[in-house]
Chains A and B, each alone.
Chain A
Amino acid sequence: MSFAKSQYEGSKSTLCTGCGHDSVTQQIINACIQAKVNPYKVAKLSGIGCSSKTPAYFLSASHGFNTIHGRMSAVATGVHLANRDLTLIGVSGDGDTASIGLGSFSHLVRRNVPMVYIVENNGVYGLTKGQFSATSDLNSTTKSGDKNPFQGIDLCSLAIDLGATFVARSFSGDSKQLTPLISAALRHEGLAVLDVISPCITFANHEGSTKSYNSVKEHNIHLQEIGFVQPQAPLTADFEPGTTQEIHLHDGSTLLLKKIDGRTHDVKDRVNALKLLHDSRNKGEILTGLFVFDEESIPLAKKLNLSQKPLRDFTANELRPPKSDFERELIAFT
């Protein structure tokens, strides 16, 4: 089956000009085209917020579900089990995931529902016009000058601590880093958490925002240099063996993680990932890259030993017990 480019695209964005989310949307489209994703087998999900509007702007040929605030994770869990053949792409924001959805998100991680989970993280509530979110950094300010007295939640650390099998952070304007990560996430058999700093041009791009375009430019530190190799394609000259950790995805594609300067990190080392994240936060750095990857990832349907066939397709004969089995169970009550 081949698809027209228009089937990977969506309707026109209604977001503010310069919004980081639109860059992420474009990269999702590109990654899906590159991966030759079958849009009919994708379900797009979101919560509520500016970022949650974006699934309408990509993959018009896919079913989408803009759910309720903070509940994308739970809805996704139901969708996955109802039809385990679907590829789930979820877009949420920092309010949706780190405030009202924090509990739900945490349990999604524990259950390892296979899904590309993108948090478009701008440290502000954009759609309700400028309040702090739970990922706003300590001492950052709103447009009107209020200072945040609370420590921000680091969704990556949280996910890692809860056992997530794929955790990365990136920046909406860094397609060289983000697009390969999305490509890998699409192929991961488990939950892939992508914490994407995606600046809010209207409410959090001022002096005092730590997730503004300027702030990211100044403080972004890449953990690795990232490349993505399609199945059966040769490795390019940029990535020589010895300098690079190779992540082999189940369809034969490869995510390459090249060391930068003295930085060494094994993405299998969860504890080191946490240390790096904590250290970078203390230094005021925005560390980006792939932090954790667990190839032993067991997605939820598998863990529950769910039938291979999508639940939607079972007939009455397959679901009802034979008469004799049924009557046998009634005997205990006679």
Chain B
Amino acid sequence: MKTNDFSINIATVNGSGSQSANSILVKTLFRMGLPVAGKNLFPSNIQGLPTWFSIRANPFGFVSRSLEHDVVVTLNASTAVTDQKDLRSGGIFFYAQEINLSLDQIRKDIFSVAVPFKELSQQASESIKVRKLLANVVYVGILAEYLKIDMNILKAVVDDQFAHKGELVASNLKALEVGQNWARENMMNWPRNISTQVIANGNQGQLLIDGNTAAGMGLVDGGCTFASWYPITPSSSLMESTIRYADLWRRDANGSLKMGVVQAEDELAAISMVVGAGWAGARAATATSGPGLSLMSEAAGLAYFAEIPSVIWDVQRAGPSTGLPTRTLQGDIQSAAHLSHGDTEHVLLFPGSVSECFSFGQLSLDLAEMLQTLVIVLSDLDLGMNFHRAPLFEQNQTPLRRGKVLSTSDLDKLPLFARYSDPDGDGIGPRTLPGTEHEKAAYFTRGTGHDDFSRYTEDPAIFKKNLDRLKKKLHTARSFLPAPEIKTEPAAKIGIIYFGSTSSAIPELEFLIKGQQRAVSTLRLRSFPFHDEVEQFILAHTKVFVVEQNRDGQMRSLLGEAFPECANRLDSILSYDGWPVSAEQIFKDFKTREDFK
């Protein structure tokens, strides 16, 4: 019997209310104290196509995607045969009776249960409209009985979920009851090899949240004062979250909003508005995904060269081109690092958890203003739109860092104000904001070649000097950037470098590797340009595998570019089918490598 150790996959039809049922289930397991994660695999569509929700629980917290499930539930006729593919031998398969699967359509090595969902949901409600939505809740009731889920906790979750729509609580509870009763009457011969058990205070002090919501919270708490955006999957919910928290937390006594928000006409405009706002002293950000990032390329170069604080949150999805809008990948690394033509490079942040999605809200804005440049935060769909556990967020206690902005009294003390000078040797010049009432304040910002005073120039020596200073600026930026997280195994000759949503698979990967009596050191990247410690890590191992979710090993290339001397020690382990990363999958690949054998 495996307790609190299983993977469930539920196949439904999108737009049918399954999202509500799914979150009730995963939330209940979370409140029972189980280490758990929930993932949506949804189609690029509004209504009527197959959608999946997978839940993994594991006593050690190994909750990245499992290659095989213990339970599959399908209410969806079109996928009822293929859905069985990922069910492990001996697993249990619940399917809607009305799908009418014939015996030869069901695998012989699994246990199948035909569930009369239609009839059961009829019992749950009088209303025909409501019944359709409740079919999904019935499955929750069945699983609740099967897995011995704590009913008090389940009921409390339902209460909370529909706190604003009281009449739905009753019908949802009824649907649960109907499912439970049916399971109780029918489960005598069901395989009883998985179960749940409450872990007292197991998730005390924890949240279950998606990265986009966390980022929105973090941006508002982190002092974002301007947001412009163009809706695109999977980043829309990040901006919608930002707007929601701005509405809650940024209203003046008279109801006016302490934040500028514009839903722009396209991404060209969204980033241009951010640049304008950042130039004029707002802490400005936009959120997008791959196709939008491509459009932001030109303005990114302007922000870099004219040194204007700006932030882009790129919630990466599967490209190239329109790609798979609802699938995850880490495919924008190379383009983000050098977004734009010419010698351009940007500060990148790689949040590896929902906690970092939150804290990088303020951090990205602080860095943009301190460094007077574009900061791109590379999240992804798996992190942004799926449910991850994390310790309760704490508000940032550090002040908002505004960088070198000269006040009128500062200007009084200066003999001269030269916008693109390097008084402190860190490559960062002082700036003034428009509206500053001082005769020395004004300067003319431009994307063309410019001298220290921002005057137009085509002088070759000045142009080169300016480019060199920009290079220096990003080099010294590293002292402000989050350092990598390194775990050194003393005996290890092999290292693993990873970042972003891959982080959730690493603890299980380490466990599997240890199980083979091998040792690996690990390094989690959190920013670019890279710290010296990254090079030191690579040099300390004979082989370093860069684990990433894209085809071309983009982070590996970036590392090789930064550290040419140790590039030959780097190798890639890749995952790029659009599905969230799986520790087992990475391990399988790992085992085939010479250095590991």
Binding site for B on A (CB under 8 A): 1, 7, 38-41, 43-44, 55-56, 60-68, 70-71, 73-83, 85-86, 103-104, 106-107, 111, 301, 304-316, 318-321, 323, 325-326, 329-330, 332-334
Closest to B221 in A: A320
User: In the complex, are the beta carbons of B265 and A104 less than 8 A apart?
Assistant: yes
Among B276-284, B464-472, B503-511, the stretch in contact with A:
B276-284
User: In the complex, are the beta carbons of B442 and A64 less than 8 A apart?
Assistant: yes
Q: In the complex, which residues of chain B have a beta carbon less than 8 angstroms from the beta carbon of A106?
A: 265
User: In the complex, are the beta carbons of B207 and A329 less than 8 A apart?
Assistant: no
User: In the complex, are the beta carbons of A78 and B272 less than 8 A apart?
Assistant: yes
A-facing mask of B243-257, CB < 8 A → 1, else 0? 001001110100111
Closest to B396 in A: A320
Among B432-440, B534-542, B581-589, the stretch in contact with A:
B432-440
User: In the complex, are the beta carbons of A311 and B437 less than 8 A apart?
Assistant: no
User: In the complex, are the beta carbons of A63 and B443 less than 8 A apart?
Assistant: yes
User: In the complex, are the beta carbons of B298 and A311 less than 8 A apart?
Assistant: no
B225 to chain A, nearest CB (A): 4
B80 located at the interface, meaning its Cβ lies under 8 Å from any Cβ of chain A in the complex? no
B263 to chain A, nearest CB (A): 10
Given contacts A77-B276, A104-B268, A334-B208, 13 further A-B contacts (CB under 8 A): A43-B435, A62-B434, A64-B445, A65-B446, A66-B445, A66-B448, A67-B272, A82-B276, A103-B269, A104-B265, A111-B262, A304-B261, A307-B258
Q: How far is the CA of A41 from the CA of B207 in the complex (A)?
A: 47
Q: List 27 A-B contacts (CB under 8 A).
A: A63-B435, A63-B436, A63-B442, A63-B443, A65-B279, A66-B448, A73-B269, A74-B272, A78-B276, A78-B284, A79-B277, A81-B273, A81-B277, A82-B260, A86-B434, A104-B268, A307-B256, A307-B257, A308-B256, A310-B280, A312-B281, A320-B223, A321-B395, A333-B209, A334-B206, A334-B207, A334-B208
User: In the complex, are the beta carbons of A333 and B436 less than 8 A apart?
Assistant: no
A48 to chain B, nearest CB (A): 8
B217 located at the interface, meaning its Cβ lies under 8 Å from any Cβ of chain A in the complex? yes
Kindly identify which residue among B255, B273, B395, B442 contacts A75, using a CB–CB cutoff of 8 Å: B273
Q: In the complex, which residues of chain B have a beta carbon less than 8 angstroms from the beta carbon of A38?
A: 437
Q: How far is the CA of A207 from the CA of B265 in the complex (A)?
A: 40
Binding site for A on B (CB under 8 A): 31, 160, 203, 206-209, 213, 217, 220-221, 223, 225-226, 228, 245, 248-250, 252, 255-262, 264-266, 268-270, 272-284, 298-299, 302, 392-393, 395, 399-400, 432-439, 441-448, 456
User: In the complex, are the beta carbons of A61 and B456 less than 8 A apart?
Assistant: no
Kindly identify which residue among B206, B392, B444 contacts A65, using a CB–CB cutoff of 8 Å: B444
Q: In the complex, which residues of chain A have a beta carbon less than 8 angstroms from the beta carbon of B279?
A: 65, 75, 78-79, 82
Q: In the complex, which residues of chain A have a beta carbon less than 8 angstroms from the beta carbon of B282?
A: 78, 81-83, 311-312
User: In the complex, are the beta carbons of A103 and B265 less than 8 A apart?
Assistant: yes
User: In the complex, are the beta carbons of B223 and A319 less than 8 A apart?
Assistant: yes
B403 to chain A, nearest CB (A): 12
A108 to chain B, nearest CB (A): 9
Q: How far is the CA of A263 from the CA of B255 in the complex (A)?
A: 47
Q: In the complex, which residues of chain A have a beta carbon less than 8 angstroms from the beta carbon of B436?
A: 40, 63
Q: Which 9 A-B pairs have the closest CB atoms?
A: A312-B281, A78-B276, A81-B260, A74-B272, A78-B277, A75-B276, A82-B280, A63-B434, A82-B282
Q: In the complex, which residues of chain B have a beta carbon less than 8 angstroms from the beta carbon of A78?
A: 226, 228, 260, 272-280, 282, 284
- Answer whether A67 and B447 are a contact pair too, CB < 8 Å, given A82-B260, A333-B208: yes
Q: In the complex, which residues of chain B have a beta carbon less than 8 angstroms from the beta carbon of A308?
A: 256
A249 to chain B, nearest CB (A): 22
User: In the complex, are the beta carbons of A68 and B447 less than 8 A apart?
Assistant: yes
Q: In the complex, which residues of chain B have a beta carbon less than 8 angstroms from the beta carbon of A39?
A: 442
Q: How far is the CA of A40 from the CA of B11 in the complex (A)?
A: 62
- Answer whether A311 and B260 are a contact pair too, CB < 8 Å, given A68-B272, A82-B276, A104-B269: yes
Closest to A4 in B: B439
Q: How far is the CA of A37 from the CA of B264 in the complex (A)?
A: 31
User: In the complex, are the beta carbons of B256 and A71 less than 8 A apart?
Assistant: no
Closest to B439 in A: A61
B363 to chain A, nearest CB (A): 14
A310 to chain B, nearest CB (A): 7
User: In the complex, are the beta carbons of A82 and B262 less than 8 A apart?
Assistant: no
Q: How far is the CA of A318 from the CA of B220 in the complex (A)?
A: 11
Q: How far is the CA of A50 from the CA of B299 in the complex (A)?
A: 20
Q: In the complex, which residues of chain B have a beta carbon less than 8 angstroms from the beta carbon of A55?
A: 444
